[in-house]
């Protein structure tokens, strides 16, 4: 049975690693699909980063504006308290005389 030995030799040869010099259309399409997907993902990430940067800028400006208004209100309240204190001092002095 020489045919049986040939099948065994082919089977043992197929179990070992081999490199084929040809490139199939499936490999090319798969590689292109992966490249397009990676580019699309990168573009989406870039858009999200830009959107987040814009939101951070807006929040920073809003915080600065709020702090500025708070400082103005605080100084106004301090001045009002000084005025009230001065008026109370005058009332107390006028009643004491």
Q: How far apart are CA 55 and CA 59, in angstroms?
A: 6
Query: Is 3 among the domain residues?
Result: no
83: Cα within 13 Å, side-chain hemisphere: 6
pLDDT of residue 97: 73
Mean pLDDT of the residues in the chain: 89
Q: How many domains does the structure of the chain reveal?
A: 1
pLDDT at position 20 over 60: yes
pLDDT of residue 15: 72
Query: Is 29 among the domain residues?
Result: yes
Query: Is 10 among the domain residues?
Result: no
For the segment 78-93, the average pLDDT, to the nearest whole number, is 97
Range of the domain at 49: 24-96
- What are the Cα distances from residue 14, in Å, to 2, 17, 19, 26, 65? 19, 8, 11, 22, 74
Query: Is 13 among the domain residues?
Result: no
Model pLDDT for residues 45-66, shown as the tens digit of each residue: 999 999 999 999 999 999 999 9
Please name the residue ranges forming H helices in the chain: 2-15, 25-96
């Amino acid at each position: 049975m020489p045919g049986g030995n040939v099948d065994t030799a082919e089977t043992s040869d197929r179990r070992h690693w081999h490199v084929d010099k040809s490139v199939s259309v499936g490999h090319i399409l798969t590689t292109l699909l992966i490249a397009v997907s990676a580019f699309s993902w990168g573009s989406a990430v870039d858009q999200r980063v830009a959107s987040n940067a814009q939101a951070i800028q807006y929040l920073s400006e809003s915080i600065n504006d709020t702090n500025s208004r708070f400082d103005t209100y605080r100084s106004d309240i301090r001045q009002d308290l000084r005025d009230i204190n001065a008026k109370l001092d005058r009332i107390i002095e006028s009643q004491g005389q």
